[in-house]
Structure 1
Amino acid sequence: MTAPAVTVRDATEDDAELLLSWRNDPATRQASRSAGVIDLDSHLRWLRRVLTAPDRILLVAMRAGTPVGTVRFDDEGDREWEVSITLAPGSRGRGLSRPVLAAGEQALAARTDAAAVLAAVHPDNAASAALFERAGYLEDAPAADGFRRLRKTLH
């Protein structure tokens, strides 16, 4: 029997507490540009801005009706979008990162004229680097913040 596919849907304000719990997970914070704990009020302000921003796409990845992660895309200009992916703590180690990323990329391609996707990877995050490399991302110019920069050209 085939495992249920990963799909994505638009995030909503109803997802706020779930997304915040994933964001404040210690492993997620360790791999993030901003490693501090976020409070609910700050998170709600951020989420409302993201949900209404024309240059951002925030998706919740679903598998068998259960949220398993998020994919966010930020428009960097010149038809390039930066991707950020987070798996729910309970979904890690289950082979879901690649399907979550692929579903997000498909949604981005369907909604925009994106030519490329960029990924900023914490230098200590070998799992994330391996994910993006397996998905066809190649080393790009180094980021000023010490993160590795990877780039994938979309077809």
Structure 2
Amino acid sequence: MSPLAAREATEADAELLLAWRNDPRTREASRSSGVIALADHLRWLRGVLASPDRLLLVVSDDGGPVGTVRFDRERPGEWEVSITLAPASRGRGLSRAVLTLGERVLIEREDVRAILAAVHQDNAASAALFERAGYVESAPAEDGFRWLRKTRG
């Protein structure tokens, strides 16, 4: 496996990110499972890129982009994480490395006391990923999603 690198997303990533977001397996695991139109996605992406309370990273290896990880500040020191692997990158054992790299970038830039993850209750692979990364159950399941939390310190 070649080393991974993370960079902040830009508006030039819009079509790539939208294709990953609209992939059927990605939509199954999302809180919003509908297909997103390009105009709506661009509006969302511009808002994310302009917000000081959000960090959207594109993670690549030597072959190009393999996934994305997004952090949304929920309250001071607490961030929610969302990770998406490119459909072509699934099954390569990259999810843990993408998550770890994203966490490292966030911690270098921001005050982080805890990171939260909402995991669809039917998504055993994501639950296992976060649990292996040190996240623990933090709240009862709600609307079909489990809440996991990783505390720093």
TM-score bucket of the superposed structures, by smaller chain = over 0.9
Task: Tell me if 1:146 matches 2:144.
Answer: yes
| TM-score, normalising length: structure 2 | 0.97
Distance 1:143 1:54 in 2: 29
> How far off its partner does 1:141 sit?
1.0
| Identity within the alignment, % | 69
Instruction: Tell me the equivalent position of 1:31.
Output: 29
Deviations 1:19-52 (A, max 9, x none): 0000000000000000000010000000000000
> How far off its partner does 1:5 sit?
1.3
Letter of the 1:25 counterpart: D
Letter of the 2:131 counterpart: E
Structure that is richer in strand per residue: 2
Moved over 3 A (4+): none
Instruction: Tell me the equivalent position of 2:94.
Output: 96
> How far off its partner does 1:7 sit?
1.6
Distance 1:44 1:32 in 2: 18
Choose the corresponding residue for 2:124, options 126, 133, 140. 126
> How far off its partner does 1:94 sit?
0.3
| TM-score, normalising length: structure 1 | 0.96
Instruction: Tell me the equivalent position of 1:5.
Output: 3
Gaps of 5+ in 2: none
Distance 1:49 1:78 in 2: 20
Gaps of 5+ in 1: none
